[in-house]
Structure 1
Amino acid sequence: MTKARKTLDFSPNDFVVYPAHGVGRIIKIEEQEVAGLNLELFVISFEKDKMTLRVPTNKATEVGMRPLSDPAVVSKALDTLKGKARVKRAMWSRRAQEYEQKINSGDLIAIAEVVRDLHRADDQREQSYSERQLYEAALERLTRELAVVKGIDESGAGAQLVEVLSKRVAAA
């Protein structure tokens, strides 16, 4: 029963992370009748994507919905970006699948690993289209959460991430 209790910690106007979509804001908690059952739902707005999602309150924890990362986790994610890229020698399709899973896990550290591993400096080889897509998706998720946690706009958060990544490349 502890899992279901945990979901009640979310209230309207709270920012939350939904694994498959990133950072959203709970705009309200509503009741809706679905197939003869009354369900209590979190209504989450993802403004940037112009999307609204309804998640049953009793399923929020099960689907991986979580509060924003605390500053210590954000700091650890930024440290992860400073590390050396770890690229496995597996086929691209398998690596792409792993990157996709990390992005959709909602785990900020895993998302930072994807950004670190797929980041390319100007003098490095070109990225394929699919590499670029995964990199941008991971970078966007990381930027959004960093911005909300630090209380800054997304462009400021993006600039911070670019700075960390360029320092890493310069040190390599």
Structure 2
Amino acid sequence: MFEIGDNIMYPMHGAGVIRGIEEKEIQGVTRKYYEIQLPMHNMQLLIPIDQGNSRIRLVADALSMDLVLDIFHHGESDPSLTWKQRYKINSDKMKTGSLQEGAEVVRDLRRMQNEKKLSSNEKHMLDKASLILIEELSLIMGITEGQAAELLKI
């Protein structure tokens, strides 16, 4: 269970902060909800606490980020995939909310972009995945998003 003030990552949405825990009745059912503020989207979400498939996680620690940055800069990409295969794999990775898999999406799409033009869907995915990675890196390292982008060379 998360606590008020925890920095969290919400898959496909990015970094947020648990601002509160509140109880609400919706359609006759009373449940507890995390009240999450997502600054990147200037949005507030209510996520049921008992919803096991939300994949919310705490922001990674510095050691985890170091390992991910190593994979980001030195990991292998599979250039033989078609854009449809690549898009499906990358979509599935983004849905997990995993820091490592999100970094792999950014790495692989950036490499592909350097070789040829990405489809509009892949370009959109690259932009979104990059923002999410930059957000988490800036939170972990206590730096601005601009500094995080520079560290990733995005």
Q: TM-score of the superposition, structure 1-length normalised?
A: 0.80
Kept after mapping to 2: 8 A contact 1:83/1:116? no
- TM-superposed CA distance for 1:121, in Å, is 8.7
Counterpart check, 1:24 vs 2:48: no
Is 2:101 the partner of 1:110? yes
**Residue 43 of structure 1 corresponds to which residue in structure 2?**
35
Q: Deviations over 1:106-137 (max 9, x none)?
A: 10111111111111499643333222212111
Residue 65 of structure 1: aligned partner: 56
Aligned to 2:3: 11
Cα 1:139–1:73 change in 2 (3 A) is same
1:126 aligns with 2:117: yes
Does residue 135 of structure 1 match 2:126? yes
Does structure 1 retain, via aligned residues, the 8 Å contact 2:112–2:118? Answer: no
Q: Higher Cα Rg: structure 1 or 2?
A: 1
Residue type of the alignment partner of 1:142 = L
Report the residue type matching 2:137 in the other structure. L
2:48 aligned residue: 56
1:121-156 CA deviation, whole Å, 9 max, x = no partner?
Answer: 996433332222121111111101001111111111
1:88 Cα shift?
4.8
Runs of 4+ deviating beyond 2 Å: 87-91, 120-131
What are the ranges of 5 or more consecutive residues in structure 2 without an aligned counterpart? Answer: none
CA offset digits 1:44-69 (Å, max 9, x no partner): 1112212211111122x432111111
Asked if the contact 2:5–2:18 (Cα under 8 Å) also holds between the matched residues in 1, the reply is yes
Q: Relative to structure 1, is the Cα distance of residues 147 and 123 closer, same or farther in structure 2, using a 3 angstrom cutoff? A: closer
Superposed displacement of residue 99, structure 1: 0.6
Separation in structure 2 between the aligned mates of residue 18 and residue 122 of structure 1, nearest angstrom: 26
Going from structure 1 to structure 2, the CA distance change for 1:91 and 1:121 (only over 3 Å counts) comes to: closer
Residues 1:97 and 2:88 are matched in the alignment: yes
Letter in 2 for 1:32: K
Percentage of matched positions with identical amino acids: 29
Q: Give the Cα separation in 2 of the matches to 1:69 and 1:92.
A: 30
The runs of 5 or more residues in structure 1 that have no matched partner are 1-6, 166-172
Indicate the larger mover: 76-85 or 103-112.
Answer: 76-85
Distance (whole Å) between structure 2 residues aligned to residue 150 and residue 123 of structure 1: 28
> How many residues are matched?
154
